[in-house]
Chains A and B, each alone.
Chain A
Amino acid sequence: MALIAFGLIAAVVILSALFVIAARNPVHSVLWLILAFFSSAGLMVLIGAEFLAMLLIVVYVGAVAVLFLFVVMMLDVDFVELKQGSLGYWPFALLIGVILVAELALVWSASGSLNFDAFDPSPGAETNTEAIGAVMYTQYLLLFQLAGMILLVAMIGAIVLTLRHRPNVKRQNVSAQTGRRRADATELKDPAPGQGI
């Protein structure tokens, strides 16, 4: 049963990854990418890493891919034009492909026989979530915090780079707006006839 499920989901991952690069429409590409992410989460559920699977969906499908889709829809990229000269890059692409396959083969041979049946998604804990939490907040606490700091610095950097203080911009002061009472805003006048104010 698990084997059938694995075969089906893995086939969907590979096919959708193929369609990501084969699709003519960039929006379709992103949609295929989302399917690939989603099916990979299915693979993770199959080996028992449910926490990772859910995080993959929340972070990549729910947030990152939405931004991708946003950008691709707004930019209106003409992929046909982009792909015109792409055939000239094939030796380079081949080189990268060969390197990837060689690395995979190296890992495979170095690890000896990979025994997937003995794989334990939650070593030393009851659930996958607890196992990941225990490792992350004890053994790798410093690295984990450092990664957070790096992301924070990157975020602040992006804000600083794009923030422009333009003059003549009218800004809203919400507390002033909501704090306004009738007495501050209106004034009752009683002009005498024929005189005006």
Chain B
Amino acid sequence: MSNAIESLGSLWGPLLVLGQIGLFTLVLLLSIAFLLLLDRKIWAGVMMRKGPNVVGPFGLLQSFADFGKFLLKEIVIPAGANKFVFIFAPILTCTLAFAAWAAIPVAPGIEDGTSWVISDLNVGVLYLFAISSLGVYGIIMGGWASNSKYPFLGALRSAAQMVSYEVSIGFVIITVILLVGSMNLSDIVNNQAGGLQNWHAFSFQNFPLIVVMFPMFVIFFISALAETNRPPFDLPEAESELVAGYQVEYGSTPYLLFMLGEYLNIVLMCAMMTILFLGGWHGPVAIGANAAGAMPPLLLSLAGLFWFMLKILFLFFLFAMVKAIVPRYRYDQLMRLGWKIFLPTSLAAVLVVAGYVTYFGVQS
């Protein structure tokens, strides 16, 4: 193995990164296929239906059948549409959704102080925030390029909605950064080591702050719903008023890319919440240093990966339940919630946490 690495020389680094990117892409695509099915199954379960159950056992292969159908359909570009932007918009949405995963650390590394991540950025949180704020372009461009009324209205709604909720997401992220003192995602996860009580959502290590941090977690969750255009905030694609919003004119592969980007963003938001508030790859119970030392490091890494995926799955379940049981907001209510409630609350939280960190210091 080491001989092979040496013979590749300077090519080894780029090849390794390419391999990691390929692995991430493959795993993400496969997970999305089954998460999509899970979403539909949960939705069906709440409505006491069976959900997709024909393709494969329990309908497990439904997403793959849908995938084939989307690929084989004809791409229809409406007359008067701006061809390049029309095709480019879904590609952009999907690419950005994948790009964000480059900075997500999924498990502890085999050596101490490292983690399983493609690029361990110093400004990891900011990178995620920046990429997710770019997601709005896919929707605006798609809505505008369709040259049709409903998609345009959907695009305008979505632009206003996403810009509004990014503000409170930004402030919530700042409270976590203040607690950790670093914008590196691996540092943020390692700051929550030692069991459930140290996760930022509960944050017993800085005891009185649970009063601030748990509401921040809830605000982040609700803002994430708005940011990913999920129900109850799916006004950009509200079926009953805008038919399907910015997606009206899309079909076949471009629609598939929109869909894929949307679900990738949802899972990304779940991963962000896991990293920022739920301890990332750390389990709810701390294992002692002796027990950890006795275990092979690869097993520890895989255990970390297991916890990380389990937490993402739990948050995705919450997303799916919210979709199934909460009725859609009215647009003015959405704006009121974002600007008049979340913004002042999260701003006050930043002040409180900053004051706490300055006067009492952080225990970690």
Q: Is the CB of B163 within 8 A of A127?
A: no
Classify chain B: how many residues form its interface, as a range: 20 to 34
Tell me, yes or no, whether A33 is within 8 Å of chain B by CB. Answer: no
Total number of residue pairs linking A and B with CB closer than 8 Å: 62
- Which listed residue, A50, A62, A73, A129, touches B134 by the CB 8 Å rule? A62
A179 CB to closest chain B CB (Å) equals 16
Q: Which A-chain residue is minimally distant from B336 (CB atoms)? A: A174
Whether B123 and A70, one on each chain, are in contact in the complex, defined by CB atoms closer than 8 angstroms, is no
Listed stretches B20-28, B135-143, B203-211, B315-323; interface member: B135-143
A129 lies within 8 A of B183 (CB): yes
- Most chain-A Cβ atoms within 10 A of its Cβ — which of B85, B123, B336? B123
Contact of B133 among A31, A62, A70, A129 (CB under 8 A): A62
Q: Chain A interface: which of B35-43, B124-132, B230-238?
A: B124-132
Contact (A27, B144) CB under 8 Å given A51-B126, A66-B159, A129-B123: yes
Q: How long is the Cα–Cα vector from A31 to B92 in the complex, in angstroms?
A: 12
A51 to B170, CA, bound (A): 15
**Which residues in B have their C-beta under 8 angstroms from that of A34?**
137
**Beta-carbon nearest neighbor of A62 in chain B:** B133
Inside 8 A of A174's CB, which chain B residues have their CB?
A: 336
> Which partner residue on chain A sits nearest B141 by CB separation?
A31
In contact, A66 and B126 (Cβ under 8 angstroms) = no
Contact residues in A for B141 (Cβ distance below 8 Å): 31
Please indicate the chain A residues that have their CB under 8 angstroms from the CB of B122 in the complex. 50, 127-129
A66 lies within 8 A of B140 (CB): yes
Instruction: Decide if B183 touches A62 in the complex (CB within 8 Å).
Output: no
Residues of A within 8 A of B166 (CB): 62-63
Interface residues in B151-181 (C-beta closer than 8 Å to A): 152, 156, 159, 163, 166, 170
Across-interface contacts of A27 in B (CB, < 8 A) = 82, 85, 144
Total contacting residues, chain A, CB less than 8 A? 23
A28 vs B141: C-alpha distance in the bound complex, in angstroms? 10
Which B-chain residue is minimally distant from A27 (CB atoms)?
Answer: B144
Q: How far is the CB of A3 from chain B (nearest CB, A)?
A: 14
Bound: A63/B160 CA distance, A = 10
Chain B contact surface mostly: helix
Using an 8 Å CB-CB cutoff, how does the interface string of B325-355 with A read, 1 for contact, 0 for none? Answer: 0000000100010000000000000000000
Tell me the complex Cα distance, A34–B134, Å: 10
| Contact among B121, B129, B137 with A58 in the assembled complex (CB-CB below 8 Å) | B129
**Does any Cβ of B come within 8 Å of A43's Cβ?**
no
Task: Tell me which residues across on chain A come within 8 A of B137, comparing CB atoms.
Answer: 34, 66, 69
Distance of B168 from chain A, by nearest CB (Å): 14
Question: Chain A residues near B336 (CB, 8 Å)?
Answer: 174
| A54 in contact with B163 (CB, 8 Å) | no
Nearest to B143 among chain A residues (CB) is A73
Query: Which parts of A144-185 form the interface with B (CB within 8 Å)?
Result: 172, 174
Decide: B126 and A70 in contact? CB cutoff 8 A: no
On chain A, the residues within 8 Å of B170 by CB distance are: 58
B136 (CB) vs chain A CBs: closest residue:
A66
- Contact A57 B130, beta carbon cutoff 8 Å: yes
Interface residues of A in 57-105 (CB under 8 A from B): 57-58, 61-63, 66, 69-70, 73
Query: Which residues in chain A, 3-61, are within 8 Å of chain B measured between CB atoms?
Result: 25, 27-28, 31, 34, 50-51, 54-55, 57-58, 61
B residues contacting A by CB (< 8 A) are 82, 85, 121-123, 126-127, 129-130, 133-134, 136-137, 140-141, 144, 152, 156, 159, 163, 166, 170, 183, 332, 336
Seed contacts A51-B126, A63-B163, A70-B156; 16 additional CB < 8 Å A-B pairs: A28-B85, A34-B137, A50-B121, A51-B123, A54-B129, A54-B130, A55-B126, A57-B133, A58-B130, A58-B170, A61-B133, A62-B134, A66-B136, A66-B137, A70-B159, A172-B332
List 30 contacting pairs A-B, 8 Å CB cutoff, sorted by A. A25-B82, A27-B144, A31-B85, A31-B141, A50-B121, A50-B122, A51-B126, A54-B123, A54-B126, A55-B126, A58-B133, A61-B130, A61-B133, A61-B134, A62-B133, A62-B163, A63-B133, A63-B166, A66-B137, A66-B140, A66-B159, A69-B140, A69-B159, A73-B144, A73-B152, A128-B123, A129-B122, A129-B123, A172-B332, A174-B336
